[in-house]
Amino acid sequence: MSAVKKTKAKIKMIELGIVPAFTAYELKRMMASLSEEDRIAAKRKFRKQWRKIAKNEASSLVKPSNGRNPGPAQIRNRSVAIVSKIINELE
């Protein structure tokens, strides 16, 4: 991916209110630097974006959680889906 496309994707992620991270390391580092209130807001906005994707697309990533929290693999798949959607919208 080109540097211009990465920059545009990060700007779009900031506009959506989610943490502009492409890797788990970046995400952990950026989330740790936020205040507790900002961290809660960023997580809420991430879940909002995920619900939009899950609602609009019949995705194999959507699994009924039966009220349980998603595991690490499911969280990673969700973040990949959101980043992929943002990048595809830029094209």
Per-residue tens of pLDDT for the chain, all 91 residues: 788 888 999 999 999 999 998 888 888 899 999 999 999 999 999 989 888 888 877 655 555 556 678 788 888 888 888 888 888 888 7
pTM: 0.75
Separation between Cα atoms, residue 58 and residue 24, nearest integer Å: 25
- The domain spans of the chain are 3-62+69-90
Separation between Cα atoms, residue 88 and residue 83, nearest integer Å: 9
Q: Which two tokens stand for residue 73?
A: 């693999």
The amino acid that residue 6 corresponds to is K
